[in-house]
Amino acid sequence: MSVLAVRDLAKAFGGVQAVRDISFAVDSGELLALIGPNGAGKTTCFNMLNGQLRPDHGSVTLDGREITGLKPRAVWRLGVGRTFQITATFGSMTVRENVQIALISHHRRAFSFWPRARDLYGAEADALLARVGMAEQADRPAAVLAYGDLKRLELAVALANAPRLLLMDEPTAGMAPKERVELMALVAGIVRAEGIAVLFTEHDMDVVFAHADRIIVLNRGELIADGKPDAVRADPRVQQVYLGGGSTFGHAG
Amino acid sequence: MTLADITIQLLNGLAGASSLFLVAAGLSLIFGVTRIVNFAHGSLFMLGVYIAYSLTDQFGRGSPLAFWSCVLAAGVAVGVIGFVVEILLLRRIYQAPELFQLLATFGLVLVIKDVVLKLWGPEDLLGPRAPGLRGAVQVMGKSFPEYDLVLIAVGPIMLGLIWLVLNRTRWGVLVRAATQDRDMVGALGVNQAWLFTGVFALGSFLAGLGGALQVPREPAQLFLDITVISDAFVVVVVGGLGSIPGAFLAALLIGVIKAFCIGIGDVQAFGTTFSFSKFTLVVEFVVMAIVLVIRPWGLLGKPAGEPRHTAATEAPLKPLPGWLVLGFAGLGAALLVLPVFTQSYLLILLIDVFVFALFAASLHFLMGPAGMVSFGHAAYLGIGAYAAALMVLRAGIPMEATLALGPLAAALGALLFGWFVVRLSGVYLAMLTLAFAQIVWSIAFQWDGFTGGSNGLIGIWPPAWAAEKEAFYHLSLVLCAAGLLALRHIIFAPFGAILRAGRDSPLRADAIGIDLRRHQWFAFTLVGAFAGLAGVLHVFSKGSISPETLGIARSVDGLVMVLLGGVQTLTGPVVGAGVFIFLQDEIARRVEFWRAILGLVIIVLVLAFPQGIVGFLRGRFMRAAA
Ligand SMILES: Nc1ncnc2c1ncn2[C@@H]1O[C@H](COP(=O)(O)OP(=O)(O)O)[C@@H](O)[C@H]1O
Ligand SMILES: [Mg+2]
């Protein structure tokens, strides 16, 4: 069974139909790329998947369980990690503390008053940071990190509750081209090893074609293609959208 | 009530709404453009009243032209004062954190109050009535003052004029653009500094004019600054921050509801008397609480985007270095043995310092780690204090028990109010805390039979073993130190860490399974208990309590203490409380106008140390160490 299954999901803002009855599924161990021009509805779709936005209609299931309408924190408890297009980290805390907070929440110690937070789950946090290549920066304040490092920190935080599904909204935006490919290689490694399902959005087609197992294409809220990278690349509607938009889709791969 | 009564009350309400609208419109304009919450706006109104009193008293009795010229001149005079204040003070602090701007305007409130006291004296002053409008008209068989009819027209006229200025002049377009996006105006090459000055002067003029128009209706009084600013805040928040039509609508709504409460008077129901006229003191706050819960951004306001990040993010918290721990332990030991060496006056002063250090630290917990700025924290100090006093006096419960029950009562109050408060954020949250504090205050103030009303309660002394100053000193020291340590510990514990995390990024907190609202609610309650403990100790140290203990001024004192010490440090509130209590004592003993001096000190401190005293020292020390 698919880890994530989306059916007829739709959302409108006033007159703008941001997402229009889309359906797709992600299997465990699979990297599914969600691509599309700016404003296509990718972030809106993510926001409905993790409960930040309530869809107008449609359903989202995780391992067959209906999660539509649940709050983000409840969705997370069921094993969905998320990274944001605009990074959201705890600026007044160190990198390690950022991960410790997620671990404290995961272990349901949030209402604990006795121990010091910094003494809890330090080793676990360091192990997560090592996996994303942030071990050396563990003691730096999150507020001073370079953008690429923030993205890595977000990944470590998203992995803290051993998720079944990772939602990554533009995980490599703001990184240098070499860094991007590296980060996605890292994600791919983790995902395959643990059988996590990943849905990610990405503008860099090199990254998409290097790592995505499958691609779905969104345009003006509509799902216009779903298939293996080669098939999607050859799809005339997709080429129309990208070439018409003057984008760099053509030189990809 | 007959239809005639209703009509008259409606007219009364509309007349009262005009002044309120002018003040609120000024406050809203200033906030919209400069993002400064001008606490001194009520003081500007009060200046308008006093200046108009003097002018009309001297020159305005002869003809309508003379009278209205005086009113207008008073407004202009206040506008000029605003102009000067902006250039001398506010212009220097636009980059400072929001809270420091607020603190600076608090300083202004204190200064203006004493200036008015010095120039006009403490007596209420009733100005002349408006020439040509001294009579009354008959409305459905009842008489209604002519002047009030004119006032009713003033509101919509001014709304129209403001609309014209904002929509039909180049300057107005810039003001509206700045309200929406400040950077854009900077990019257009507009001289931002003068735009801000102009807006502040205009807002001040509106406040002054609103005050001046009141002269024929109400006497000039020294407490107008606080009552008007809280009214104006309510109107602005109910209408929606930055929305002038919203302010107008809210002013009408509140003016009319208040007038009706006065009109209804006492009502007998269910065997008791419910006094609607007393209810007027709180009705606007009840309206605000309801509006904010239903429409958190006000009637005509827009849902706010992400709150702007004001202060630089704080550095990660670290446990104190060993030498500082030793230092504090040493200080504690020194304080413990102090009574051996000293006379009792210093002890009394130090008890105040302990109590207010705990109070300030509990407020700091809320403002710093939990990210919720409260303008009404004294409510919980007061609930603790009143609860203890009432238990002792009415039920004969011993002090030892009230040390637990008083904080419990305060926590219950905070639990109730906190449920509403944590639904909001930023300025709206602060205003709601103010509203609740005002409600608590008016209960204490009005329920003569139970709380002693404005006189308060007396004869609340500790039992024999703690009656000696020394013994009570030790009791306060130990309990307050324990409270401070507990608060500090919680900030580092998972609970406190999660609060800090939620303050930094509510979005991320929600995405990792944290129910931030529940956390904040619990934090609000917890902090209420600590403030309540401070209140219990306070009441037993003084032997009496009055509504001032939970008034706005006391909440402001707490804010000043926290901000003096620095929000971003944990020792800050303790230092701030110490400095504040000693300053207050020193200045109050030596000079008559101590509030003005305190205000000036605050302003100078804000200009000199925008990070607070401890923040400043730490910055210095770290640079020296690096
Ligand atoms: N909160 C919102 N309110 C109104 N419109 C929105 C909101 N969020 C997104 N939109 C609109 O929905 C469309 C899709 O936006 P988004 O999902 O952010 O696209 P993408 O992530 O693919 O760039 C855009 O037209 C955007 O303007
Ligand atoms: Mg997006």
Burial B157-187 (b: 16+ CB within 10 A, else e): ebbeebeeebeeeeeeebbebbbeebeebee
CA-based end-to-end distance of chain B:
75
Q: What is the pLDDT of residue B195?
A: 87
pLDDT tens digits for range A147-197: 889 999 999 999 999 999 999 999 988 888 888 888 888 899 988 888 999
Q: What is the pLDDT of residue B612?
A: 67
Which residues form the pocket of ligand 1, taking CB atoms under 6 Å from any ligand atom? A 13, 16, 18, 36, 38-44
Q: Reply yes or no on whether the pLDDT at A73 is more than 60.
A: yes
Partner B contacted by A227 (CB < 8 A) = no
Closest CA to B460 of B408, B407, B403, B378: B403
- In SS3 terms, A126-188 reads as HHHHHHCCCHHHCCCEHHHCCHHHHHHHHHHHHCCCCCCEEEECCCCCCCCHHHHHHHHHHHH
pLDDT at position B104:
87
How far apart CA B505 and CA A238 sit, in angstroms, is 37
Which residues are within 8 A (CB) of A97 and not within 5 positions of it... i.e. 6 or more apart? A90, A117, A118, B316, B497
* SS (HEC) of B510-543: HHCCCCHHHHHHHHHHHHHHHHHHHHHHHHHHHC
Pairs of residues, one from chain A and one from chain B, whose beta carbons lie less than 8 Å apart: 107
* Confidence tier at A206 by pLDDT (50, 70, 90): confident
Output the CA B148–ligand 1 centroid distance in Å: 51
CA distance B163 to B160: 5
What is the phi-psi region of residue B121: left when phi exceeds 0, alpha when psi lies from -120 to 50, beta otherwise?
left
Quick one: pLDDT at residue B578?
94
Token pair of A250 as six digits: 């053509």
Spatial CB neighbours of B279, under 8 Å, sequence gap ≥ 6: B261
d(CA B249, CA B17): 9
Q: Which residue of A has its CA nearest to B508?
A: A88
Q: What value does the mean pLDDT of chain A take? A: 91
Instruction: For residues A204-220, give the mean pLDDT.
Output: 91
Instruction: Calculate mean pLDDT across residues A241-248.
Output: 59
Query: CA angle, B5 as apex, B1 and B9 as ends, to 5°?
Result: 115
CA distance B126 to B220: 6
On the question of pLDDT at A123 being above 70, the answer is: yes
Contacts 24+ apart (CB under 8 A), B515-519: B515/A73, B517/B422, B517/B423, B519/A110, B519/B495
* Residues 6 or more apart in contact with residue A81 via CB below 8 angstroms: A157, A158, A159, A160, A161, A163, A165, A166, A167
Helix (H) or strand (E) holding A80: strand A80-83
CB-CB neighbors (< 8 A) of A84 in chain B: 507-508, 511
Name the token pair of B438. Answer: 């005002």
B317–A104 C-beta distance less than 8 A: no
The answer to whether B64 and B133 have CB atoms below 8 angstroms apart is yes
| Residue-level pLDDT at A243 | 61
pLDDT score recorded for residue B1: 65
Kind plus residue range of the DSSP H or E element containing B23:
helix B3-34
What pTM value is reported for the model? 0.86
Residue A41 in contact with residue A203, Cβ under 8 Å?
Answer: no
Taking contacts as CB-CB distances below 8 angstroms, the residues of chain A near B303 are none
Q: Do A73 and B514 touch (CB under 8 A)?
A: yes
Q: Which of B78, B87, B83, B85 shows the shortest CA–CA distance to B116? A: B78
Contacts of A76 in chain B (CB under 8 A): 511-513
Predicted confidence band of residue A253 (pLDDT cuts 50, 70, 90): very low
Report the CATH architecture of A4-79+163-243: 3-Layer(aba) Sandwich (3.40)
- Predicted pLDDT of residue B198: 93
pLDDT along chain B (626 residues), means of 10: 81 89 93 86 96 93 91 97 94 78 86 94 91 85 89 93 91 83 65 87 96 92 86 88 89 87 74 71 80 84 56 76 90 91 88 97 95 93 97 94 97 94 83 85 85 90 91 96 96 97 94 96 98 97 92 86 82 91 84 82 81 70 56
Query: Which range (A93-102, A241-250, B228-237, B333-342) has the least confidence?
Result: A241-250
Looking at the partner chain, which of B314, B493, B512 has a beta carbon nearest the beta carbon of A115? B493
Which residues of chain A does B498 touch, with a Cβ-Cβ cutoff of 8 Å?
A: 101, 104-105, 110, 117
* Residue ranges with strand state E in B9-68: none
Q: Where along chain A do its domains lie?
A: 4-79+163-243
Alpha-carbon distances of A84 from A169, B112, B280, B520, rounded to whole Å: 5, 49, 48, 24
Contact A210, A27 (CB under 8 A): no
Question: How high is the pLDDT of residue B183?
Answer: 63
Is the ipTM higher than 0.90? The answer is yes
Give the separation between CA B257 and CA B278, rounded to whole angstroms. Answer: 13
- Give residue B308's pLDDT: 46
Give the residue, out of A13, A49, A56, A84, with the most ligand 1 atoms within 8 A of its beta carbon, to mutate for a pocket test.
A13
Residue B278 confidence (pLDDT): 72
pLDDT tens-place string over residues B340-366: 888 778 999 999 999 999 999 999 999
pLDDT band at A122 (very low <50, low <70, confident <90, very high): very high
Question: In the 3-class helix/strand/coil scheme, how is B458-517 assigned residue by residue?
Answer: ECCCCCHHHHCHHHHHHHHHHHHHHHHHHHHHHHHCHHHHHHHHHHHCHHHHHHCCCCHH
| CA nearest to B314 within chain A | A92
Instruction: Name every residue whose Cβ is closer than 8 Å to that of residue B324 and which is 6 or more positions away in sequence.
Output: none
